[in-house]
A and B are shown apart, each in its own frame.
Chain A
Amino acid sequence: MQQVPPYLTQQLDDVMSSLLVFKPELCLAGLFLLVLGIDLIYRKNSGKACRMLGCAGMLLVLAADLGQYLIFKEQGRFLFINNLILNHDNIVLKMIIDAVTFTLLVYFPWDHQLKTHKKGLGDAYTIIIASVLGLHLMVMSATLLTMFLSIEMVSIASYLLVAYRTESNFSAEAALKYVLFGMAASAVMLYGISLFYGFSGSINLYHPHMVANLQAADPTVIVLAVVLILAGIGFKLSFVPLHFWVPDVYQGASTPVTAYLSTLPKIAGFGLLVTFLRPFMFNPTWSRFDFTLILSIAAIVTMIAGNFAAIWQQNVKRILAYSSVGHTGFALMAIVTFTPQSMGALSFYLIVYAIANIGVLGLATYFANAMQAHTVNDYKGLGTKYPIASVCFVVLLISLTGIPVSAGFNAKVLVFSSVYEVYQHGHKGIMLALLVTGAVTTVVSLFYYLKIPLNLFLRKEDTVRNHYPAVSKDLLVMIVILSLIVVLLGIFPDALANLL
Chain B
Amino acid sequence: MNILTLLIFIPALFGLLILALPASLKQSFKYITLAATLIQLGLSIWLYINFQTGAAFGGINHESQFQFVQKISWISLDLGTAGRMQVDYFVGVDGISILLLVMTAVVMVIAVLASWEIKHNLKGFFVLFLLLDMAVAGVFCALDFFLFYLFYELMLLPLYFLIGIWGGVRREYAAIKFFLYTLFGSVFMLLIMVGLYLSVTDPATGNHTFNIVQMMNPANYQQGSVFSIFSHQTLFGIPARVLAFVVLFIAFAIKVPVVPLHTWLPDAHVEAPTPVSIILAGVLLKIGGYGIIRICIGIFPEVAYQGAYWLGLLGVVSILYGALNALAQRDLKRLIAYSSVSHMGFVLLGLASQTAEGVSGAMMQMISHGFLSSMLFFLVGVIYTRVHDRDIYNFRGLATVNPQYTTYVMIAFFASLGLPGFSAFIAEAFSLTGAFKSELIPNWMAVCGSIGILLSAAYFLWTLQRMFFGKELLKGGDSWKQALTGLKLREKLALFPLAVLALVLGIMPSLVFSKINDSVLALVEFTKQMVR
Q: Which residues of A contact B (CB under 8 A)?
A: 339-341, 344, 384, 394, 398, 403-405, 409, 412-414, 416-418, 420-421, 423-424, 432, 435-436, 439-440, 442-443, 446-447, 450, 453-454, 457-459, 492-494, 497-498
Selected from A339, A418, A436, the residue in CB contact (under 8 A) with B191 is A436
Q: Is the CB of B153 within 8 A of A424?
A: no
How distant is A410 from chain B, measured CB to nearest CB, in Å? 8
Measured CB to CB, the nearest residue on chain A to B163 is: A458
Q: Is the CB of A454 within 8 A of B149?
A: no
Q: Is the CB of A403 within 8 A of B80?
A: no
How distant is B27 from chain A, measured CB to nearest CB, in Å? 18
The secondary-structure label for the interface of chain B is helix
Given the complex of chains A and B, what is the CA–CA distance between A440 and B176 in angstroms? Answer: 16
**A446 neighbours in B (Cβ, 8 Å):** 179-180, 183
**B154 neighbours in A (Cβ, 8 Å):** 404-405
**A417 neighbours in B (Cβ, 8 Å):** 85, 194, 197-198
Q: Is the CB of A494 within 8 A of B225?
A: no
Q: Is the CB of A457 within 8 A of B165?
A: yes
* B81 within 8 Å of A (CB atoms): yes
* B150 within 8 Å of A (CB atoms): yes
Selected from B76, B161, B194, B195, the residue in CB contact (under 8 A) with A457 is B161
- Of A413, A418, A442, chain B has the most CB atoms within 10 Å of the CB of A413
Q: Is the CB of A493 within 8 A of B77?
A: yes
**B77 neighbours in A (Cβ, 8 Å):** 414, 493-494, 497-498
**B176 neighbours in A (Cβ, 8 Å):** 447, 450, 454
Given the complex of chains A and B, what is the CA–CA distance between A446 and B481 in angstroms? Answer: 46
* B121 within 8 Å of A (CB atoms): yes
* B172 within 8 Å of A (CB atoms): yes
* B171 within 8 Å of A (CB atoms): yes
* B508 within 8 Å of A (CB atoms): no
**B225 neighbours in A (Cβ, 8 Å):** 424
Given the complex of chains A and B, what is the CA–CA distance between A450 and B182 in angstroms? Answer: 14
Q: Is the CB of B188 within 8 A of A439?
A: yes
**B179 neighbours in A (Cβ, 8 Å):** 446, 450
Q: Which residues of B contact A (CB under 8 A)?
A: 75-82, 85, 121, 149-150, 153-154, 156-157, 160-161, 164-165, 171-172, 175-176, 179-180, 183-184, 187-188, 190-191, 194-195, 197-199, 224-226, 235-236
Given the complex of chains A and B, what is the CA–CA distance between A417 and B77 in angstroms? Answer: 12
- Of B81, B153, B190, chain A has the most CB atoms within 10 Å of the CB of B190
Selected from B75, B161, B191, B224, the residue in CB contact (under 8 A) with A493 is B75
Given the complex of chains A and B, what is the CA–CA distance between A416 and B184 in angstroms? Answer: 16
Give 5 pairs: A residue, B residue, CB < 8 Å, sorted on A. Answer: A423-B226, A424-B225, A439-B188, A458-B175, A494-B76
How distant is B187 from chain A, measured CB to nearest CB, in Å? 4
**A432 neighbours in B (Cβ, 8 Å):** 235-236
A494 in contact with B157 given A443-B180, A443-B184, A459-B172 (CB within 8 Å): no
Q: Is the CB of A420 within 8 A of B75?
A: no
Q: Is the CB of B226 within 8 A of A421?
A: no
Q: Is the CB of B121 within 8 A of A384?
A: yes
Q: Is the CB of A439 within 8 A of B153?
A: no
Given the complex of chains A and B, what is the CA–CA distance between A188 and B149 in angstroms? Answer: 46
Measured CB to CB, the nearest residue on chain A to B75 is: A494
How distant is A381 from chain B, measured CB to nearest CB, in Å? 11
**A405 neighbours in B (Cβ, 8 Å):** 150, 154
Q: Is the CB of B187 within 8 A of A498?
A: no
Selected from B85, B153, B198, B236, the residue in CB contact (under 8 A) with A420 is B198
Measured CB to CB, the nearest residue on chain A to B199 is: A424
Q: Is the CB of A416 within 8 A of B183?
A: no
A-B contacts besides A341-B82, A398-B157, A417-B194, 15 pairs, CB < 8 Å: A341-B81, A344-B80, A384-B121, A413-B194, A424-B198, A432-B235, A432-B236, A440-B187, A443-B180, A446-B180, A447-B176, A457-B161, A457-B165, A458-B175, A493-B77
Q: Is the CB of B183 within 8 A of A403?
A: yes
Q: Is the CB of A435 within 8 A of B76?
A: no
How distant is A431 from chain B, measured CB to nearest CB, in Å? 11
Measured CB to CB, the nearest residue on chain B to A493 is: B75
- Of A344, A446, A493, chain B has the most CB atoms within 10 Å of the CB of A446
Q: Is the CB of A442 within 8 A of B187?
A: yes
Q: Is the CB of B172 within 8 A of A458?
A: yes
How distant is B293 from chain A, measured CB to nearest CB, in Å? 23
**A458 neighbours in B (Cβ, 8 Å):** 161, 164-165, 171-172, 175
**B156 neighbours in A (Cβ, 8 Å):** 403
Which 8 A-B residue pairs are closest in the complex by CB-CB distance?
A458-B164, A439-B187, A404-B150, A340-B80, A416-B194, A404-B153, A341-B79, A494-B75
A454 in contact with B80 given A435-B191, A446-B179 (CB within 8 Å): no
Selected from B153, B172, B188, the residue in CB contact (under 8 A) with A454 is B172
- Of A341, A435, A458, A497, chain B has the most CB atoms within 10 Å of the CB of A458
**B195 neighbours in A (Cβ, 8 Å):** 420
How distant is B156 from chain A, measured CB to nearest CB, in Å? 7
Given the complex of chains A and B, what is the CA–CA distance between A270 and B150 in angstroms? Answer: 30
**B85 neighbours in A (Cβ, 8 Å):** 417
Measured CB to CB, the nearest residue on chain B to A415 is: B194
**A436 neighbours in B (Cβ, 8 Å):** 191
Q: Is the CB of A421 within 8 A of B187?
A: no
Given the complex of chains A and B, what is the CA–CA distance between A216 and B333 in angstroms? Answer: 74
Q: Is the CB of B157 within 8 A of A403?
A: yes
Given the complex of chains A and B, what is the CA–CA distance between A310 and B164 in angstroms? Answer: 22
Q: Is the CB of A416 within 8 A of B75?
A: no
**B226 neighbours in A (Cβ, 8 Å):** 420, 423-424
How distant is B88 from chain A, measured CB to nearest CB, in Å? 12
Selected from B172, B180, B191, the residue in CB contact (under 8 A) with A439 is B191
How distant is B205 from chain A, measured CB to nearest CB, in Å? 16
**B183 neighbours in A (Cβ, 8 Å):** 403, 442-443, 446
How distant is A451 from chain B, measured CB to nearest CB, in Å? 9
Measured CB to CB, the nearest residue on chain A to B85 is: A417
Measured CB to CB, the nearest residue on chain A to B193 is: A413
Given the complex of chains A and B, what is the CA–CA distance between A494 and B84 in angstroms? Answer: 11
Given the complex of chains A and B, what is the CA–CA distance between A394 and B191 in angstroms? Answer: 24
How distant is B240 from chain A, measured CB to nearest CB, in Å? 11
**A439 neighbours in B (Cβ, 8 Å):** 187-188, 190-191
Given the complex of chains A and B, what is the CA–CA distance between A403 and B180 in angstroms? Answer: 12
**B80 neighbours in A (Cβ, 8 Å):** 340-341, 344
How distant is B307 from chain A, measured CB to nearest CB, in Å? 22
How distant is A66 from chain B, measured CB to nearest CB, in Å? 19
Given the complex of chains A and B, what is the CA–CA distance between A256 and B529 in angstroms? Answer: 62
How distant is B427 from chain A, measured CB to nearest CB, in Å? 33
**A494 neighbours in B (Cβ, 8 Å):** 75-77
**A416 neighbours in B (Cβ, 8 Å):** 190-191, 194
Given the complex of chains A and B, what is the CA–CA distance between A384 and B121 in angstroms? Answer: 9
**A459 neighbours in B (Cβ, 8 Å):** 172
**A435 neighbours in B (Cβ, 8 Å):** 191
**A450 neighbours in B (Cβ, 8 Å):** 160, 176, 179
How distant is A251 from chain B, measured CB to nearest CB, in Å? 25
Q: Is the CB of A498 within 8 A of B161?
A: no
Given the complex of chains A and B, what is the CA–CA distance between A340 and B194 in angstroms? Answer: 18
Q: Is the CB of B82 within 8 A of A421?
A: yes
Given the complex of chains A and B, what is the CA–CA distance between A424 and B199 in angstroms? Answer: 9
**B76 neighbours in A (Cβ, 8 Å):** 494, 498
Q: Is the CB of B236 within 8 A of A340?
A: no
**A341 neighbours in B (Cβ, 8 Å):** 79-82
How distant is B453 from chain A, measured CB to nearest CB, in Å? 37
Given the complex of chains A and B, what is the CA–CA distance between A462 and B164 in angstroms? Answer: 18
**B187 neighbours in A (Cβ, 8 Å):** 439-440, 442-443
Q: Is the CB of A454 within 8 A of B81?
A: no
Given the complex of chains A and B, what is the CA–CA distance between A305 and B160 in angstroms? Answer: 27
**A414 neighbours in B (Cβ, 8 Å):** 77
Given the complex of chains A and B, what is the CA–CA distance between A498 and B79 in angstroms? Answer: 8
**B149 neighbours in A (Cβ, 8 Å):** 404
How distant is B85 from chain A, measured CB to nearest CB, in Å? 7
**A442 neighbours in B (Cβ, 8 Å):** 183, 187
Given the complex of chains A and B, what is the CA–CA distance between A257 and B201 in angstroms? Answer: 47
Measured CB to CB, the nearest residue on chain A to B167 is: A458
Given the complex of chains A and B, what is the CA–CA distance between A404 and B187 in angstroms? Answer: 11
Given the complex of chains A and B, what is the CA–CA distance between A200 and B369 in angstroms? Answer: 73
